[in-house]
A and B are shown apart, each in its own frame.
Chain A
């Protein structure tokens, strides 16, 4: 698995059998994740106006912050693309630096999201408040937990890249992480559209 890359006709991450299978397995996992988030969206769709005695969405949403969050996460997806291009060029340092930049954007997103949660609780909206609060915070929280997981995962992979360089196997690992990261971005676009923009309409 540690063999040097010699075949340049196939992207690095697809050069080992194991790497190929891991990537396919991960795509299947993403399919399951799509259903998972779809269910959360469905719950939110049903519950978004079932606010009980608590506040409604537009009363608590701070759109300016959400736009910044969105920009941060979308940019991190862009820089995540550079991780893969550096990797395919065989540039270890470049890949690690781009991972670090991606993670910083991700961290920024996460900090703002935690802030957002604190703001909601102060505004009287917690998961105990109403079905709306439960479904909103569970949807955002599940996404946020995924981002947190992606952060740690990215750090672990950056260390492994530094230790072992770019091999077919490490490349497939980084590629899988990048699929995950892009996926979280796609989920966020749906969150932004359906939860925040939809809430304002």
Chain B
């Protein structure tokens, strides 16, 4: 080990120092608040150990929003640093750490958890199930992801943040060029978060394949459920590759092996290949559920059936296949030669076809529809042009010969922010506004929502559109500063102003959540928006723990809409209600959180023997689980279910609008 013990806590710089103080003060405040209001027991019983998929989903979303703020502050710091030439706000080292953290956190601890959260909330409802296939495993997935997030997020104070970019290319990321332990956080934390993703993938695949309501064939599933299924499939194929890549990277750094080193036969470009073999599918892992969300929102608020449902499904499947065949386009400049580049260029451009089909289908869904400009629809409408810009510039980047011009410039940065923010984040906001009332029993405020949308939308375009031009002018990504002669200054400044608007938009979003939970009108309508199409609008609002009092029999795609149109009764006979079986709470996933955190921490700090020994901790948890898995769960009595159903708008008359 080459650790300098006096450098464990990194608080010399004022930014670090004040962040450290801020963290300590807010943690003390949180603990004091929970103690003062005697909420510890409630927190533990109702949330931290809850195997209810809805609560797990909400916890995922809370984690993701906290991470969004952290990653967002990183973004603001970067943009402030580059707003003017020769700025000295951040040192080059600090800048490296900040952009690495921004990328890693936004992908692993913001985008993925927030989508996992939405899946947890929505998928069981959409397929007419009471729960996910493996409720305890589901909670474990959340806690493992959280362990990884906490581990990664303490890095900047304890030992140093990873500084080789979110791609962490070797040999830069190796020990020769990045000594110290900071970069270990990347390999260990992401390895742990990968386990969490794998759990989600298996759980939701089984849930969707096995637990659909009777009558719901695969081609009667809502689009969001379809995209979740395909996303899980890609995760199962892609994540193990990353697991091995991270393992090899960790072995290289901590145990001195030679996978990606320059010496002794290692190949640094092997990392790039393995990384992108996973990371390109990863882009689709986050964007496919977003497509699903947009499909639901556009159909609901256009009051029309989704145009070309079958072509939508096949487009998603085709995208998932192609997603695994394009990874080399991330390093055309590696020098594999024109033949290989051409092949990957063609597969890359081919992805534009199914994606284009999806865009046109959304447009055709809206055509002649009676569009309601509710909040979710605003985000969906914002999504289409922004994502289109991302897609079209993607085609530009996909052309291998042209890519030599764009490679590693801000043009690329602008492109992937247009797909990931314009695609994923817009869709996530649409999803939050869309499904929020279903779970909390009130809508988010319309006016504040408008502020959120317009500030974010204008800010986003102001922030990233200039980057296209900067990139074409030759501004490289990840540059911590530039000279005034380059002439980059004004556009960089514009971009910074845009970032401020984005931040203001997010502030309005947070204010909206707080304001609406205090002030907004409570609603108990099952079909919150009046034009709901899928099964989640059949259950009471807010959704009871058991989801469906009686499992519905499905006859059509868009079952609720179908029932409203055919005048079929949406309510059920109360005599059909029986006692409902529910899974027990479990503290074991929380133990696994602690176990993974400790073990991960020891690996990061290169206590080799101790780290390997500490792997016994999670395995012990698994053994305990095996012995205690005979728990029978509990039952909600039929009487209680009937009461809840009556209270939750059960007698409401349903009519097609």
Contact = CB atoms under 8 A, between A and B. Distances in A.
A39 interface: yes
Contacts of A127: 251, 255-258
A39 B241 contact: yes
B205 interface: yes
B134 interface: yes
Contacts of A40: 244
A31 B236 contact: yes
A159 B134 CA distance: 24
A152 B210 contact: no
A53 interface: yes
B243, B261, B266 interface centre (most CB from chain A within 10 Å):
B266
B105 to A, nearest CB: 25
Contact of B259 (A29, A129, A134): A134
B398 to A, nearest CB: 25
B623 interface: yes
A39 B259 CA distance: 13
Interface string A113-135: 00000000000000111111111
A80 B119 CA distance: 38
A130 B627 contact: no
Interface in B219-259: 236-237, 239-241, 243-245, 247-248, 251-252, 255-259
Contact of A130 (B236, B264, B623): B264
B486 interface: no
Contacts of A130: 258, 264-265
A135 B274 CA distance: 14
B626 interface: yes
A35 B241 contact: yes
A201 interface: no
B263 interface: yes
A160 interface: yes
A4 to B, nearest CB: 15
Contact of A43 (B244, B256, B623): B244
B630 interface: yes
A35 B252 CA distance: 21
B239 A32 contact: yes
A51 interface: yes
B584 interface: no
A142 to B, nearest CB: 8
Contacts of A132: 265
A53 B206 CA distance: 49
Interface in A144-198: 149, 152-153, 156-157, 159-160, 164, 169, 173
B257 A169 contact: no
A32 B198 contact: yes
Interface string B479-518: 0000000000000000000000000000000000000000
Contacts of A133: 257-258
B476 interface: no
B240 A24 contact: no
A140 to B, nearest CB: 13
Contact of A53 (B244, B264, B274): B264
Contacts of B247: 138
Given A32-B236, A152-B623, A160-B627, A131 B203 contact: no
A156 B252 CA distance: 34
Contacts of A2: 630
Interface in B342-370: none
A131 B258 contact: yes
Contacts of B263: 52
Contact of A128 (B205, B258, B274): B258
A32 B240 contact: yes
A156 B206 CA distance: 25
A46 B245 CA distance: 14
A46 B267 contact: yes
Contacts of B627: 156, 159-160
Contacts of B241: 35-36, 39
Contact of B248 (A24, A32, A134): A134
A47 B265 contact: yes
Given A25-B206, A128-B256, A39 B265 contact: no
A20 interface: yes
B205 A28 contact: yes
A135 B252 CA distance: 11
Contacts of B206: 21, 24-25, 28
Contacts of B245: 39
Given A21-B211, A32-B240, A52-B258, 11 more contacts: A1-B632, A21-B210, A25-B203, A29-B202, A36-B240, A39-B243, A39-B274, A47-B259, A132-B265, A164-B630, A169-B630
Interface of A: 1-2, 20-22, 24-25, 28-29, 31-33, 35-36, 39-40, 43, 46-47, 50-54, 127-135, 138, 149, 152-153, 156-157, 159-160, 164, 169, 173
Cβ-closest 3 pairs across A and B: A50-B265, A131-B265, A52-B264
9 contacts: A22-B134, A32-B198, A35-B240, A39-B240, A43-B244, A52-B258, A52-B264, A133-B258, A164-B630
Interface of B: 133-134, 198, 201-203, 205-206, 209-211, 236-237, 239-241, 243-245, 247-248, 251-252, 255-259, 261, 263-267, 270, 274, 619, 623, 626-627, 630, 632
